[in-house]
Amino acid sequence: MALSGPGTRVLRPGFCCGDEYKVGFDLIWTPEGQGQLFGLSEFAGEFSVPLFDGFSLNVDFEHDLISGDTEMGLGWTFAF
């Protein structure tokens, strides 16, 4: 993600529910994003969902609107 550099702007809304479900998004504007939807260059997100006690599924993704590249990650957290 291009989270730094001249002219870069980031909006990072997110929420969590009872410290279990976690959701976050990044909307990224850079000078290269001119001409894209609302001037956006990239967007990214992540969420975590508990499947059972001590085990959560984690998913994150990123999409570059200029190059069209998309990345997705899948993982888990296991605590005991």
pTM across the whole model: 0.70
Residues 3, 12: contact at Cβ < 8 Å?
Answer: no
Instruction: Break the chain into its structural domains and give their ranges.
Output: 9-78
Q: How far apart are the first and last CA of the chain?
A: 33
pLDDT tens digits, one per residue of 20-59? 788 888 888 887 766 667 778 888 999 999 998 889 999 9
Where do the DSSP E strands lie in the chain?
A: 9-11, 14-17, 21-29, 40-52, 55-64, 70-78
